[in-house]
Amino acid sequence: QTVVTQEPSFSVSPGGTVTLTCGLSSGSVSTSYYPSWYQQTPGQAPRTLIYSTNTRSSGVPDRFSGSILENKAALTIAGAQADDESDYYCVLYMGSGIWVFGGGTKLTVL
Amino acid sequence: EVQLVESGGGLVQPGGSLRLSCAASGFTFSSFWMHWVRQGPGKGLVWVSRIKSDGSTTNYADSVKGRFTISRDNAKNTVFLQMNSLRGEDTAVYYCARAGVADSTAFDIWGQGTVVTVSS
């Protein structure tokens, strides 16, 4: 069974830069998995941030960027702000009409 | 305004059934693949199912295969999730989501979710 891995939690100082990652329990993440990233605050629906590895969704500030780093998908947030404090989820397309989400990263800005 | 509105959630006993609906508006519904994603209490997002724009192709996560059925009515701009043989672990907020315009492997529009509780 494929497991998509994310850091359970991360902390960043206001104005700082943080990189969250999305890996596979077995193997490397590449653009062929079409990684996408979603932001979710408690009680709210997810918001799409990044799709196709590195394309920002409409209205997403350019402080958010996506990439592949060392065989993992990565979400970098530059100039972190208080309202970036959220849960962040990646999802990978495994092919054959199957998607697998990571467990999510709880980002704290303090 | 592009919008997805889920309904049909509620309390159901283990072994019971429930049918969720997701009404779409503000876009050409019949042109888009649609998904269901769920989130258990205090847990992460889990992809559940997908249906092609014309309803001809469906896919399911292993955890729901054989118990859940996704369908759609393009005349009513609505996607459904029929859930049978429900278990406690199916308790979750169920979101419908639209496959992306620019990247159909992503989810670009989400509904607000409907709560399903499976308990005796």
Q: Report the pLDDT value the prediction gives residue B7, as an integer from 0 to 100.
A: 98
Mutation target to probe the A interface, by most A beta carbons within 10 A, among B47, B50, B109 is B47
User: In chain B, what residues touch A106 (CB-CB under 8 Å)?
Assistant: none
Positions in chain A short of pLDDT 70: none
Q: What percent of chain B has pLDDT over 90?
A: 95
Q: Report the pLDDT value the prediction gives residue B103, as an integer from 0 to 100.
A: 84
Residue B68 has pLDDT above 90, yes or no: yes
Cα separations (Å) of A65 from A13, A55, A57?
A: 18, 8, 10
Distance between CA atoms of A62 and B115, rounded to whole angstroms? 34
Facing residue for A89 by CB, picked from B45, B57, B108: B45
Q: Report the pLDDT value the prediction gives residue A1, as an integer from 0 to 100.
A: 79
Q: Report the pLDDT value the prediction gives residue B106, as an integer from 0 to 100.
A: 92
Residue B101 has pLDDT above 90, yes or no: no
Q: Are strands A9-12 and A105-109 parallel, antiparallel or unpaired?
A: parallel
Q: Report the pLDDT value the prediction gives residue B23, as an integer from 0 to 100.
A: 98
Between residues B103 and A99, the one the model is more confident about: A99
Strand partners, B5: B23
Interface of B with A (CB under 8 A): 35, 37, 44-47, 50, 57, 59, 61, 95, 97, 100, 102-103, 105-113
Query: Over the stretch B11-63, which tens digit does the pLDDT of each residue have?
Result: 999 999 999 999 999 999 999 999 999 999 999 999 999 999 999 999 999 99
Strand partners, B6: B22
Q: Report the pLDDT value the prediction gives residue B102, as an integer from 0 to 100.
A: 81
Distance between CA atoms of A38 and B115, rounded to whole angstroms? 20
Mutation target to probe the B interface, by most B beta carbons within 10 A, among A7, A34, A48 is A48
Torsion angle of C-alpha atoms A38, A2, B59, A47, degrees rounded to 10: 0
A91/B57 CB distance under 8 A: no
pLDDT band for position B104 (50/70/90)? Answer: confident
